Every structure is written in C-alpha cells, then in structure tokens.
Amino acid sequence: MITEQPNIKHSQNFLRDINLVTRLVGESSINGQDTVYEIGGGKGIITSALAAVCENVVSIEADRQIAETLKQKFADTANVEVVFGDFLKYPIPRNLKCKFFSNIPFNITADIMTKVLACDNVQDIYFIMQYEAFLKYAGAPYYDECLKSLIYKPFFQAELLYEFEPTDFSPAPKARIVLARFERKEYSDIKIEETEAYRDFISFVFSESGKTLKEKTKRIFTYEQLKRASKSIGFSVDKTITELKYSQWLALYELYKKYVPSDKKALVAKAYKKLTLSQGKIDKIHRNRQQNGGNRRNGKRKFD
C-alpha cells in the first residue's frame, strides 16, 4: 500500500459531477475510433466518461498514489491505460492520430499547451483550464491577438464551450474555469514547411523594443517598405501591434517573405526558439516560487 502524500505541484481541482462530464464528453467530437489522452486522471470521472465512447483512453497521472488508485479502479476496463509519470516527459506517439480531453493542472498550463499544440498528429483538444489562459491562446474574437494566439492560430481554431461553476470542483477554485476546444484546421493558413519561419517572424516582432508597428519592425523593414506594407494591410505604422488583426499579421508575414532580404531575415532566424527558452526559464522560476509558497502555507497537503 502506498502511503506517500500527493505532491502539491501535481494538485488539481477535481470535478465532482459525472453526469456533467458525461454530457460534455458526449457533445465533443470524440467517437469510437479515437485514441484520447488525458493529462491528470484525478478521481477518474473524465476517464470513465471517455472510456464509454472512445476506442482507447490513455490517462497520464503524475502522482503515484492517485495513479495506483486509478489502475485498480480501471483494472477491468480493457480500453483504459493508466500511466504513472510526468506528461511533460511522456512521448506522444507520432504515428497515431489522437485527441485530448483533460482537466489540466493549471500551474503547468503553458508547458502543456506548448507540447500538445506542437504535435502535428493531435487532431482535437478539449482542455478544462483557467479562463485567462484560454484568452491568451484563443485571441480574437475573445481577446486581442497576442504572441501565444498568433503562434498557433494558423493551425488551430479555438472555441469556448462551457464555463463551470466553482462548486463543480473539489476544492472550489477561485479563478474562472472553462472548457476550451482547440480544433486542428483542415487546411492550415500557412504552408507546413514555413512553420518555423512564421513563428520566428512573429516571435521576433514581439521581442523587439517599442510598442508600435514601426518601432517593432524597424530592423527588418525599411521605411519605404513599411509605408507600403501599411497601405497594403490597412494598418497605421504608429498603432501598437496588439491592434493588428490576425489576417493583417498573415499579410505582413507574406510581405516579409517577399521583400525582406536574406541578411535581415538572418536577424529573425531562431527567434522563436530563443523566446521559448527565455520564457521557459521565467515560468520555471514562477512555478518554483508558487510551489515553495504553497508548501510553506500548507505543509503536507491531503486530498479529499
């Protein structure tokens, strides 16, 4: 018998109502031919609902005690596999089209989104997540376009499906929690082979100093190029880049590809990787502070 206490860094707000979860899974695109991954099995409510409608469920649980309990609970359910491990280190098979339906740990939302959205075999994603995080990845029409939304929007379309009540969870969260869908587009808005170049361009512009389009792009566009680009996309160079619509970003990227010389494009190369590494270090520091603060406040935390 495993007696260790669950680690606070793996803690989640567990869903309480199997009927609500069953309805939400039933309204999703998940069907009998799908393999579905769940990140954090919790008490098995989502696992049970998924097992009833899809071909295979792989539930990846980072807490040993919870994972062992889930393995016992689903020992006789042939289409459920419970894996004890850290999802961020789990290799998603590249040769299998799959979907996700998960109540994700909120403290590692960014890491999870980065990993899942980068897999070209992931077809549909249903994540129970904080509303504020959803806005950043969804962009318009829910929020202004930002770095996170623009990086993934050529490949996925986002939709807010449901907003939960705090009482739907144990313990009740303080933040707004929603069910969000990120569905892979049938045809991406840019060529797949241009993914790296597009993400480098977006990352470079956001990383540059200043706020306006003119300030953010002065190292790659000449004044004349930028003036023509402004007319072409219908956007003032003196406006902030957060006011740019997604379609205008795509048009600006096309102009960058066509008119910016290779020596200036060299400045943009690897910008996405550099930004991701930098942001990852910041996120790690933030998570460590949250974890240490939680440990000081709560000591050994017990789950209901």
pLDDT value of position 128: 97
Average pLDDT for residues 3-20, to the nearest whole number? 66
Q: Please report, rounded to a whole number, the percentage of residues in the chain having pLDDT higher than 90.
A: 84
Q: Please give the CATH superfamily to which domain 192-272 belongs.
A: rRNA adenine dimethylase, C-terminal domain (1.10.8.100)
Question: In which residue are the tokens 């004044």 written?
Answer: 223
Structure-block tokens of residue 32: 């009998």
The pLDDT assigned to 304 comes to 28
Please tell me the CATH superfamily of domain 15-184, with its number. Vaccinia Virus protein VP39 (3.40.50.150)
Binned at pLDDT 50, 70 and 90, residue 90 comes out as very high
Instruction: Return all residues near 4 (Cβ < 8 A) that are at least 6 apart.
Output: 64, 65
Asked whether residue 285 carries a pLDDT value surpassing 60, the answer given is no
Residue type, 104: I
Q: Residue range 153-164: average pLDDT?
A: 98
Task: Identify residue 240 by its one-letter amino acid code.
Answer: T
pLDDT for position 301: 32
Mean pLDDT of 71-96: 95
Annotated domain spans of the chain: 15-184, 192-272
β-pair type (80-84, 122-130): unpaired
Tokens of 190: 């840019």
Phi-psi region of 40 (alpha: psi -120 to 50; beta: other; left: phi over 0): left
Q: Quick one: CA dihedral 147, 180, 111, 265, positive or negative?
A: negative
- So what's the pLDDT on residue 10? 46
Query: 34 with 25: CB under 8 angstroms?
Result: no
Over the stretch 193-230, which tens digit does the pLDDT of each residue have? 999 999 999 999 999 999 999 999 999 999 899 999 99
Q: Which residues 6+ apart lie within 8 Å of 236 measured at CB?
A: 213, 230
Q: What is the pLDDT of residues 99-142, one digit of tens each?
A: 999 999 999 999 999 999 999 999 999 999 999 999 999 999 99
Question: In this predicted model, what pLDDT tens digit does every residue of 28-59 receive, in sequence order?
Answer: 999 999 999 999 999 999 999 999 999 999 99
> Looking at residue 281, what is its pLDDT?
58
Q: 20, 165 in Cβ contact below 8 A?
A: no
Nearest CA to 294 out of 178, 171, 177, 179 is that of 171
Report how far Cα 198 is from the mean position of its chain's Cα atoms: 18
Tokens of 53: 């409608």
pLDDT of residue 109: 95
Q: What CA–CA distance (Å, rounded) separates 68 from 61?
A: 9
CA distance 156 to 153: 5
pLDDT at site 176: 96
DSSP string, 118-161: T-TTEEEEEEEEEHHHHHHHH-TTTS---HHHHHHTTTEEEEEE
Q: What is the mean pLDDT of the segment spanning 175-195?
A: 96
Structure tokens at 234: 């219908």
When comparing pLDDT for 233 and 296, which is higher?
233
Mean pLDDT of 167-193: 95
pLDDT confidence of residue 239: 95
What secondary structure letter does DSSP report for 89?
G
Distances (CA, A) of 69 to 59, 73, 85, 137: 12, 6, 14, 33
Q: What is the spatial distance between Cα 129 and Cα 141, in angstroms, rounded to a whole number?
A: 18
Average pLDDT over every residue of 156-166: 97
